[in-house]
Structure 1
Amino acid sequence: MSGVPTLVVIGGGPRGTGVLERIAANSAELYGDRRLDIHLVDPYPPGGGRIWRQDQSPLLWMNSMAEDVTMFTDDTVEQEGPIRPGPALHTWAADVREGRITLDSDPGTLAEIRGLGAQDFPSRRLQSAYLRWVYEQALAALPPGITVREHRAHAHRVSGSRDGRQQVWLQGRAEPLLADLVVLTIGHLDAEPDAEQEELAAFAARHGLVHLPPDFTADSDLGSLPAGEPVIVRGLGLAFIDLMVLLTEGRGGRYEDGVYIPSGREPVLYAGSRRGVPYHSKIGYAWEGERPPLPHHFGPARLDALLDGAGPVDFRRDLWPSIAKELGHVHYHRLFAAHPERTAVGWDDFEEKYAVADADSPELRALVASAVPDPADHLDLDALDRPLDGVLHPSYDSLQDGLRTYITADLERRHDPRNSPDLAVFLGLLSVYAQLVRAGDIGDRWHGFFSHLASGPPGPRLRQLLALSRAGVVRFLGAGITVEADEERGVFRAGSATVPGEHMEARALVEARLPDPALRNTRSPVLRGLYEDGAAGTDTGLLSVDPGDGRILDRDGSPHPRRFALGPNTTARSSGAFTRPRTGGPAFRQNDATARTVLAFLRDLSCSGRPTA
């Protein structure tokens, strides 16, 4: 048996790549010239992993501009390890175009790189090429004593005692990989259907209907949706946008001067959701001038005070008031700094009174009303989050006009720099997310709110949605959507709170969302096995980890000395494995902390000799 310490990383996507990059960055300080064998396990090519793999439609875009995507640290990341700067996606593309980086890729991706601008929305295939290059750079930066071996396979079990070597069992391999430490960097995974999805699937099977459960849209069986037939779609987030693209342009349709020209192969999408509207458009202008003071009302000290209270933390009761104050502060700071002609008092006077007013109190509302004359300049988080609450339409035809007006107004606002407080709030949301990573499992309400405001589709996609709506290819159902299985008629029936008393029927239902990341439903045998082996799970089903270094927590709260986990299935989930430059990158901070803990453990193990298995 080799005496070289061994690390197994399960998951070769951007999170696994980020951990390898941090191992390379920290190895000189913490590991010296010692030897280390790393095994990287993923059935998909490393770098992009499943979600960002090269093998998907070029019609699918990122929902971030090229200048807003980086995999490299900068001095805004709060980490102990060294900064290793590198190009953001748009500068990397420029380096490829100008010959400073040689890229072996397919002609379509190379053609896209040649035309890519900083404010363009790249395809996921292009992002895959960037992530692959970052992965290769991370390998090249490793010292000579550290080697990486790739295993294109599924990991299906991790076993081993707390004090001994771990066994990582791979599909199709009789003997396990032996590891001194295991790091899970698993991204979004498939899930078993919950009770409702099982009932809907059984109903569809009985009546010869089509039911597509939550899935990564690129992997859904969209060929089962017939042309010209109505399809109920539950969900208006990013999975819906992908669905919309693949069932329209993906079936031969095209846009001419803002008008959609059908191919005749499209189904008719009847789409609704809890909110009844798509996510807010990505903001279409760059920040100018002074950066907002972040964090201010919701920084580490305030979060520590909230977390140190007696009893469990309730998001709405304990965290939300400080978050709302933070977002309001950054909104009005930008308004007073960039658009003072729309304010009636001085900033210092306003800020002093704002600081002592409770969130959403009569005093705060009165202060804003007196200092900011135009209600359009007021920050109303509830209205932003649930714009159709209390809105009723007499018919679906009326709703179509109303939703097109709403989407058009949202596009205009999010692309007009006169509304730059919106961009300040976006930066505030990123700051809040960076703090909340330490708060553990706070439920899904924050993540849904964040995604709706900050992680919406590119503006061009919403313009396409408007064209599809005008062409009758997409029909909006409204908010509070309900879906019923009509056994007598053998159809799905959908309705909403926005158009009470009205329903529509279809022989196909698509759940346009990613599978639930909870342990209770995951199809990942590794995650299920960890839970069965004593790992702690939260009430919402996430894997409990130490927010400091990502160690998996046992049910008694003690960290497992040899198992780590990062990503959306954990209580330390962050807003993404990559981020926009100079915004702190909480995932980068987590990667660095985990890599440093891993290297220190393996260094001490190497010095003391390997314990018996």
Structure 2
Amino acid sequence: MRPQLVIVGAGPRGAGLLERLAANAPELYAGRGLDIHLVDPHPPGGGRIWRQEQSPLLWMNSHAEDVTMFTDDTVPMDGPVREGPTLHEWAAVDGRTFAGRQLQGRYLRWFYERAVAGLPPDVTVRHHPRRALRISGPREGRQQVWLEGRARPLLADLVILALGHLDAEPGAEQAGLAAHAREHGLVHLPPDFTADSDLSALRPGEPVLVRGFGLAFVDLMVLLTEGRGGRYEGDAYRPSGREPVLYVGSRRGVPYHSKIGYDWTGDRPPLPRFFGPAEVEALLARPGGHDFRRDVWPLVAKELGFAHYHRLFTAHPGRTAMSWADFEEKYAAASDPAETGALVDAAVPDPADRLDLAALDHPLAGVRYASHDDFQDGLRGYIEADLGRRHDPSFSADLGVFLGLLSVYGQLVRLGNLGSWWHGFFSCLASGPPGPRLRQMLALSRAGLLRFVGADMAVTAEDGVFRASSPTVPGFSVDARALVEARLPEPALGRTRDSLLRELRADGAAETPEGLLRVDPADGRILDGAGHPHPRRFALGPYTDARTPGAFTRPRTGGPAFRQNDGTARAVLSLVKELTR
């Protein structure tokens, strides 16, 4: 009988796995035959998030030249490099364009079809447009993958879960807010993928509380303004009259930082420098394990500082007070943050040129405004300053930090469980909105359709309404009949609506304290409670403790997801080869 491989999830991660299977098959599995079954109710390539059937108003948050599905020689992997076009090369668009998600969906579909075409002729691929409900079967035997609406399971020698973002049952807070909404006839939209949310209940002219200031909010903002017939004329917004008034806040109280609007020139910082494979190996070898804040973060902070100051000293030496060689030697020798801080104060005269990670993470910490209107002016000034800095190459040390963040992430995925804070911090600095979206925020704010609430936004359900407040503006609060949680659901196994993952959890698959599925970082095999890898089940994606920034990446930045795909593909091909002997 021909060996059978089932891949659950046919979006960018599943397509990337197919490409790596095709690239590695000549070396590891030539001429043996294999049937691959892709299980996903959404079209292969784009999957749910990048499907072509969504609003043309929604963009990617990366330049087209910074999006690729192809490996290059910067990816640390054992398989062969198979280069290919970036999104902008494939679509023949300006590389600085922020492409629409529909275009990205077409690119991903083309990539999927190319990956399938690259498989050996004796390997078949079949797409099953259904949901996978559960997996059964003995550890050492064939697995059964049960599909929605199908009486008999797919038989699989190996199963790879390549799921993306998942829906979740509400936690205690969200359940309480939903109950209040039902009791008083309010509108409560829980965390969700914004393009899938029904926004029709948000009424024109009425206040809507929005908790979350990241990319989900940007989508919401677009769909409730341009999506309702408004338009931008220069720096002004012309409303259609169908827009609600958005009151937005979050933990930080500010939007994610703008995408950087200039290209790299000159030498890149030699990364990794202070947080590379040797440091990761040392952390993994610790008998008592490692703690992120105590053991990992100091190394990460030193690496990001190195990337920042390397760029500052080499590209803008006139703003420094010592030579790079002298600074680098002292920076490497500094043994604690106080010593590093004293060195930076002496070597970098202007505070605007110093890297302050705490201020970047909590820009409104301790900041108070006398009135709500004062805060509107203050935050508009903050956004304008951010736009100015992120589009000014004289502050290109920020781009050095961006490269440092990518390098760090590539190392962190090997450590497994990191907690939730790091991913939010990374997204805020490295995965923010296009500059034009922030300019649109400013226009909506000036038009009175977007109001800023502040940091540590609190929402209560009382007096038959939802009420929002923030310590940023003491004494201010706003009431509304509608509340939108503008963020994706947390990927916790205990609350996921995905029955397959719930069944895995019930069957003994291990999870982190945050509820992520534990996997072997080397090849993605699912671990049990004793830390033993399952011989036939693999998992990759944001619901695992080896999650990466995304299934595709910026060219020539190491591509952590590509490395994972390659490791899993090679392990799978080797295991299937063993099974056919």
| Runs of 4+ off more than 4 Å | none
- Structure 1 position 309, deviation (Å): 2.2
- Structure 1 position 513, deviation (Å): 0.2
Residue 401 of structure 1: aligned partner: 377
Q: Match for 2:407: what amino acid? A: S
- Structure 2 residue corresponding to 1:50, chosen from 48, 51, 56: 48
- Structure 1 residue corresponding to 2:535, chosen from 549, 553, 561: 561
Q: Counterparts of 2:435 and 2:39 in 1: how far apart (Å)?
A: 37
Q: Match for 1:429: what amino acid? A: L
> What is the DSSP-based 3-state SS (H/G/I as helix, E as strand, rest coil) of the residue aligned with 1:147?
strand
- Structure 1 position 310, deviation (Å): 3.4
Residue 38 of structure 1: aligned partner: 36
Q: Match for 1:42: what amino acid? A: D
Residue 261 of structure 1: aligned partner: 238
Residue 29 of structure 1: aligned partner: 27
- Structure 2 residue corresponding to 1:285, chosen from 262, 287, 301: 262
> What is the DSSP-based 3-state SS (H/G/I as helix, E as strand, rest coil) of the residue aligned with 1:25?
helix
> What is the DSSP-based 3-state SS (H/G/I as helix, E as strand, rest coil) of the residue aligned with 2:270?
coil
Q: Counterparts of 1:318 and 1:222 in 2: how far apart (Å)?
A: 44
- Structure 2 residue corresponding to 1:430, chosen from 406, 425, 432: 406
- Verify the 8 A CA contact 2:132 2:147 in the aligned structure 1: yes
Summarize deviations over 1:406-432 as a string: whole Å, max 9, x none.
000000000000000000000000000
Q: Match for 2:38: what amino acid? A: L
Q: Counterparts of 2:336 and 2:123 in 1: how far apart (Å)?
A: 52
- Structure 2 residue corresponding to 1:464, chosen from 431, 440, 458: 440
Q: Counterparts of 1:371 and 1:163 in 2: how far apart (Å)?
A: 61
Q: Counterparts of 2:424 and 2:343 in 1: how far apart (Å)?
A: 29
1:25-424 alignment, distance < 5 Å: 25-94=23-92, 116-361=93-338, 363-424=339-400
Residue 520 of structure 2: aligned partner: 546
1:524-603 alignment, distance < 5 Å: 524-603=498-577
Q: Match for 1:168: what amino acid? A: V
Q: Counterparts of 1:227 and 1:308 in 2: how far apart (Å)?
A: 58
- Structure 1 position 344, deviation (Å): 1.2
- Structure 1 position 469, deviation (Å): 0.5
- Verify the 8 A CA contact 1:325 1:359 in the aligned structure 2: no
Q: Counterparts of 1:537 and 1:373 in 2: how far apart (Å)?
A: 47
Residue 111 of structure 1: aligned partner: none
- Structure 1 position 364, deviation (Å): 1.5
- Structure 1 residue corresponding to 2:4, chosen from 3, 6, 11: 6
Q: Which deviates further from its counterpart, 378-387 or 310-319?
A: 310-319
- Verify the 8 A CA contact 2:283 2:289 in the aligned structure 1: no
Q: Counterparts of 1:262 and 1:591 in 2: how far apart (Å)?
A: 46
- Structure 1 position 54, deviation (Å): 0.6
Q: RMSD in angstroms over aligned alpha carbons?
A: 0.7
Q: Counterparts of 1:364 and 1:433 in 2: how far apart (Å)?
A: 23
1:442 counterpart = 2:436: no
- Structure 1 position 308, deviation (Å): 2.1
Q: Match for 2:472: what amino acid? A: T
Residue 97 of structure 1: aligned partner: none
- Structure 1 position 306, deviation (Å): 2.3
- Structure 1 position 509, deviation (Å): 0.3
- Structure 2 residue corresponding to 1:517, chosen from 491, 505, 510: 491
Summarize deviations over 1:110-146 as a string: whole Å, max 9, x none.
xxxxxx3100100000000000000000000011100
> What is the DSSP-based 3-state SS (H/G/I as helix, E as strand, rest coil) of the residue aligned with 2:150?
coil
1:496 counterpart = 2:470: yes
- Structure 1 position 497, deviation (Å): 1.3
- Verify the 8 A CA contact 2:163 2:540 in the aligned structure 1: yes
- Verify the 8 A CA contact 1:543 1:552 in the aligned structure 2: yes
Q: Against the structure 1 CA distance between its residues 88 and 353, is the aligned structure 2 distance closer, same or farther, given a 3 Å change threshold?
A: same
- Verify the 8 A CA contact 1:550 1:590 in the aligned structure 2: yes
- Structure 1 position 302, deviation (Å): 1.1
Summarize deviations over 1:510-560 as a string: whole Å, max 9, x none.
000001111011000011111111110110000000000000001111000
> What is the DSSP-based 3-state SS (H/G/I as helix, E as strand, rest coil) of the residue aligned with 1:600?
helix
> What is the DSSP-based 3-state SS (H/G/I as helix, E as strand, rest coil) of the residue aligned with 2:466?
strand
> What is the DSSP-based 3-state SS (H/G/I as helix, E as strand, rest coil) of the residue aligned with 2:113?
helix
- Structure 1 position 356, deviation (Å): 1.2
Residue 100 of structure 1: aligned partner: none
Summarize deviations over 1:18-41 as a string: whole Å, max 9, x none.
000000000010001111000000
Summarize deviations over 1:293-325 as a string: whole Å, max 9, x none.
100000010122223223232211111111111
- Verify the 8 A CA contact 1:324 1:359 in the aligned structure 2: no
Q: Counterparts of 2:56 and 2:469 in 1: how far apart (Å)?
A: 34
TM-score (norm: length of structure 1):
0.94
- Structure 1 position 191, deviation (Å): 0.3
Q: Counterparts of 1:214 and 1:359 in 2: how far apart (Å)?
A: 40
- Verify the 8 A CA contact 2:73 2:556 in the aligned structure 1: yes
Q: Counterparts of 2:484 and 2:335 in 1: how far apart (Å)?
A: 43
- Structure 1 position 606, deviation (Å): 1.0
Q: Against the structure 1 CA distance between its residues 405 and 359, is the aligned structure 2 distance closer, same or farther, given a 3 Å change threshold?
A: farther
- Verify the 8 A CA contact 1:189 1:515 in the aligned structure 2: yes
> What is the DSSP-based 3-state SS (H/G/I as helix, E as strand, rest coil) of the residue aligned with 2:442?
helix
> What is the DSSP-based 3-state SS (H/G/I as helix, E as strand, rest coil) of the residue aligned with 2:580?
helix
- Structure 1 position 359, deviation (Å): 4.4
Q: Match for 2:492: what amino acid? A: A
Summarize deviations over 1:377-430 as a string: whole Å, max 9, x none.
111011111100000011110110000000000000000000000000000000
Q: Match for 2:436: what amino acid? A: P
- Verify the 8 A CA contact 2:548 2:561 in the aligned structure 1: yes
Q: Counterparts of 1:294 and 1:350 in 2: how far apart (Å)?
A: 17
Summarize deviations over 1:321-363 as a string: whole Å, max 9, x none.
11111011111111111011111111111111111113421x2
- Verify the 8 A CA contact 1:322 1:359 in the aligned structure 2: no
Q: Counterparts of 2:291 and 2:378 in 1: how far apart (Å)?
A: 35
Give structure 1 stretches of 5+ with no counterpart.
95-115, 608-613
> What is the DSSP-based 3-state SS (H/G/I as helix, E as strand, rest coil) of the residue aligned with 1:222?
coil
Q: Match for 2:155: what amino acid? A: L
> What is the DSSP-based 3-state SS (H/G/I as helix, E as strand, rest coil) of the residue aligned with 1:484?
strand
Give structure 2 stretches of 5+ with no counterpart.
none
Residue 112 of structure 1: aligned partner: none
- Verify the 8 A CA contact 2:453 2:470 in the aligned structure 1: yes
Q: Match for 2:399: what amino acid? A: L
- Verify the 8 A CA contact 1:157 1:169 in the aligned structure 2: yes
Q: Counterparts of 2:187 and 2:508 in 1: how far apart (Å)?
A: 39
- Verify the 8 A CA contact 1:17 1:135 in the aligned structure 2: yes
Q: Match for 2:112: what amino acid? A: Y
Q: Match for 2:488: what amino acid? A: L
> What is the DSSP-based 3-state SS (H/G/I as helix, E as strand, rest coil) of the residue aligned with 1:563?
strand
> What is the DSSP-based 3-state SS (H/G/I as helix, E as strand, rest coil) of the residue aligned with 1:388?
coil
Q: Counterparts of 1:265 and 1:313 in 2: how far apart (Å)?
A: 52
> What is the DSSP-based 3-state SS (H/G/I as helix, E as strand, rest coil) of the residue aligned with 1:34?
coil
